Structure 1
Amino acid sequence: MKEDINGALEVLRSGGVILYPTDTIWGLGCDATSREAVDRIYRIKGRDPNKSMLVLVECPARVERYVEDMPDIAWDLIDITNKPLTIIYHQAKNLAENLVAADGSIGIRVVQDKFCQQLISRFKKPIVSTSANQANQPAPGNFKEIDQKIIDSVDYVIKWRQNETKKSSPSAIIKLGPGGEVEVIRE
């Protein structure tokens, strides 16, 4: 795992793209503050650049750096969740502008996976997380389901957890409105 973290850090710091396991499914990742790196992920996936992607942070306190207003309910949701939860906040800041939705919102997940926590903590910035598949194709349940074209298009592929056969699922998604409204997007 240490070798993978060091290799991924080198790539992330140079503006590259990694293929990595998260606390949900395998994802494509890059520096969430780099417009060029984010553009590259859109190209790799063939994804509409008007569709935002989410970011991962390693601890709850880090979320405040990337949203204008952290609603109290967000702290409660992060504290009580026992499975991966992405929260969409209504006003992003300090992120690549092409990562943020047209309405200014951004999805952020506090990762529970030890590998991701260590990687993000050492990188000291959030990392983009989007499923490792072409746009409009099913998300891979494990590494073996990732298309070879995706694997070949990144700068670093994490070896950690490649042999796992268990199928993973995407996170739950909740959107928080400016007045504290809660909308469940995906359970």
Structure 2
Amino acid sequence: MMREAVAHLRNEEYILIDAGAKTFLLGDIRIQSCYENAREKLGELIVHQEVLVPDVGWIQDYVTKMPDLAWDIIDFSEKPLSICLPGGRHVAEGLLENDGGLFVRVCKEKAIHKLIYNFGRGVFCLHLKASAKDVGVLTLDKKVLHLQASEIGFEPNPKRMSLGLEGEVKFWDA
């Protein structure tokens, strides 16, 4: 399963993670057309988007500066956490917030961690407000690999927060 999933990402295809009432679409973070196609076809279903990385050290590939506090928060977080960090870069433009920030999540769950690590770079993750059968991903014009969240240990409800370079903290509703 892992090799097949990595192959899908490398072929600019998608992975759909089914978590019951919620669905997540993963794709190659650096391929603008891959992100734009998903955004165009699923736009109204997207409630949140983030970049998934397997290790805190990878975050610096995607943001220009990382607040000192972020290292500790991520390392000591026991539950999944998506943090908006300033100065997003090297990602599809639409993944950036209005202020240029980028939501990043370090995936500590074993299988998804391994998937992203083996892929070799972060992936975008679109949180959709629909079940997998309601999404209609066949309209994405690319192949889609379906996975169950329970099979790969993907936690569907990360906490969300923003960190500024001067220590500003903002918590977001789930």
Instruction: Decide: shared fold, TM above 0.5.
Output: yes
Paired position in structure 2 for 1:136: none
What are the ranges of 5 or more consecutive residues in structure 1 without an aligned counterpart?
A: 134-138
Change (3 A) 1:162 1:86: closer
Paired position in structure 2 for 1:158: 146
1:34 aligns with 2:21: no
Paired position in structure 2 for 1:60: 56
1:15-94 matches, cutoff 5 A: 15-20=12-17, 26-47=23-44, 53-94=49-90
| Partner-residue secondary structure (3-state), 1:27 | strand
- Give the Å deviation of 1:75: 0.6
Q: Which amino acid aligns with 1:17?
A: Y
| Partner-residue secondary structure (3-state), 1:42 | helix
| Structure (1 or 2) with the greater strand fraction | 2
1:90-129 matches, cutoff 5 A: 90-129=86-125
- Give the Å deviation of 1:20: 2.5
Deviations along 1:78-109, whole A, 9 cap, x unmatched? Answer: 12211000000011111122221231110000
Change (3 A) 1:152 1:54: same
- Give the Å deviation of 1:158: 3.3
- Give the Å deviation of 1:161: 4.8
Q: What percentage of aligned pairs have identical amino acids?
A: 24
Change (3 A) 1:179 1:120: same
1:184 aligns with 2:165: no
CA distance in 2, matches of 1:20, 1:46: 17
Q: Which amino acid aligns with 1:178?
A: L
CA distance in 2, matches of 1:172, 1:161: 17
- Give the Å deviation of 1:21: 5.7
What are the ranges of 5 or more consecutive residues in structure 2 without an aligned counterpart?
A: none
Change (3 A) 1:105 1:171: same
Change (3 A) 1:163 1:183: closer
Change (3 A) 1:163 1:10: closer
Q: Which amino acid aligns with 2:132?
A: I
Paired position in structure 1 for 2:162: 175
Change (3 A) 1:88 1:113: same
Q: Which amino acid aligns with 2:17?
A: Y
- Give the Å deviation of 1:13: 1.1
- Give the Å deviation of 1:169: 4.6
| Structure (1 or 2) with the greater helix fraction | 2
